[in-house]
Amino acid sequence: MRHITILGATGSIGTNTLDVIKQHPESYTVFALTAYSQMERLIACCRYYHPSLAVVANAKQAEEVSRGLKGKMLKTEVLYGEQGLIAAATDARVDTVMAAIVGAAGLKPTLAAARAGKRILLANKEALVMSGQIFMDAVHQYRSELLPIDSEHNAVFQSLPMDYDRNLADRVRRILLTASGGPFLNHTETMLAQVTPEAAIRHPNWVMGKKISVDSASLMNKGLEVIEAYWLFGVPANKIEVVVHPQSVIHSLVEYIDGSVIAQLGSPDMRIPIAHALAYPKRMTSGANFLDLIRQGSLTFTQPDSTRFPCLDLAYRALDAGASAPTVLNAANEEAVAAFLGNRLRFMSISNVIEEALETVAVTQAKNIEDILEIDAMTRRIANRFINQETIH
Ligand code: NAD
Ligand code: MG
């Protein structure tokens, strides 16, 4: 029996994780569920999964959840704030932590899970992008086990040899991350200048949270994933490439020096990588549809267009610059995406804000997580100055 904490239980990844767990009640129990909004939903999940702990954002929410669980014969303790998240991630009764909070907010609890030596199922790519070296050092030092949930990285993981942490660079010629291209793949620059948040969050193949949906539309999601792959698999940036594959059937590929290419395929359903990581190294059913290649027909591949979608190149630039540059990239992107979703910034200006932030904030070497959070906060202030300067019309 595995005991699981789900950080971000009410989100898209959290909901899919609970769905997989529901199919295997004999193998998994839910220890803690955390949420930042949607208290009704959290209460409903607590009533069904009976966690020992529920964590919310503030005292008012904690009261609401406690009230909602009253008289239900549940022994769910309700905590709030950062300390609550860290308790959920590190409790001695937990062995597996699904890190599915969106953005920088997930960093501290995910890092705490690593330091507590947990098995981490990593969806929260922003945490790794902003603190790559420090996070990976903690994983190694405390013998935490890191399993990727991001479909591309889960595919790469499945396509690598079991002893992949040894001498991978000698054997692997390239890692090819596939990108769907998002909802604006075939938009002209004129069309891109006018897209709305509503259009940006309507992804053709996946139903996801708003932030990652906008990232998919701008291709920044793929940029973050290049950095994520760099840290997860320890291959240099020039061996990580992106190919646009609109059908989202091949989730990524590994090319070996002998010319062999190994890939993982499946229907676009996050329950597949989630079930893979939950059961690893075993296998179990996920509830996803099986892939029907005949019905699928053709699979196509093209190069990403860096003129219409400059964010991918910005991510490579940040990775090349190293040190704090990916932290800056991530923080500026989070602020720009929030401004776009709030109708304060045009879609095409997202990359301008990130580029200006990268050019303005000096590259420094963070020594600890406090340094990272300081760079993150400073970048957000600077990014907001640029956001206010960009005209919306
Ligand atoms: P989502 O917006 O649907 O859910 C986010 C979850 O985090 C919610 O439970 C929310 O309550 C919680 N949360 C938000 N802000 C918080 C804060 N400040 N403090 C604490 N909790 C907070 O997002 P999602 O689509 O499920 O994505 C989650 C993560 O997984 C992201 O990092 C995303 O990049 C990654 N990911 C998602 C998918 C997908 O298919 N949705 C695929 C790959 C990777
Ligand atoms: Mg992905």
**Where do the DSSP E strands lie in the chain?**
2-7, 28-34, 53-56, 77-80, 96-99, 119-122, 145-148, 172-179, 240-244, 250-256, 261-265
Q: Tokens 């910034």 identify what position? A: 345
Cα(216) to ligand 2 centroid in Å equals 9
pTM over 0.95: yes
Phi, psi for 85 (deg, rounded to 5) = -65, -40
Predicted confidence at residue 393, as pLDDT, reads 53
Cα(35) to ligand 1 centroid in Å equals 10
Least distant ligand from the CA of 104: 1
Is residue 125 in contact with ligand 1, taking CB distance under 6 Å? yes
Is residue 10 in contact with ligand 1, taking CB distance under 6 Å? yes
> How would residue 207 be classed by pLDDT, with cut points 50, 70 and 90?
confident
Single-letter amino acid code for the residue at 120: I
229-252 pLDDT per residue, tens: 999 999 999 999 999 999 999 999
Is residue 208 in contact with ligand 1, taking CB distance under 6 Å? yes
End-to-end CA distance of the chain: 56
Cα(36) to ligand 1 centroid in Å equals 10
Over residues 358-377, the mean pLDDT reads 97
Cβ within 8 Å of residue 73, ≥6 positions away: none
Cα(298) to ligand 1 centroid in Å equals 32
Phi, psi for 153 (deg, rounded to 5) = -75, -35
> How would residue 322 be classed by pLDDT, with cut points 50, 70 and 90?
very high
250-261 pLDDT per residue, tens: 999 999 999 999
Strands ordered across the beta sheet of 28-34: 77-80, 53-56, 28-34, 2-7, 96-99, 119-122, 145-148
In the chain the domains, ranked by start, together with CATH numbers, are 2-148 (3.40.50.720)
Residue 291 has pLDDT above 70, yes or no: yes
Cα(126) to ligand 2 centroid in Å equals 12
Residue 388 has pLDDT above 90, yes or no: yes
Is residue 209 in contact with ligand 1, taking CB distance under 6 Å? yes
106-164 pLDDT per residue, tens: 999 999 999 999 999 999 999 999 999 999 999 999 999 999 999 999 999 999 988 77
Is residue 80 in contact with ligand 1, taking CB distance under 6 Å? no
Q: How far apart are CA 198 and CA 330, in angstroms?
A: 22
Q: Which of 13, 42, 108 to mutate to test the pocket of ligand 1 (most atoms within 8 A of CB)?
A: 13
* Ligand 1 atom 42 nearest Cα: 150
Over residues 158-185, the mean pLDDT reads 91
Predicted confidence at residue 102, as pLDDT, reads 97
Strands 250-256 and 172-179: antiparallel
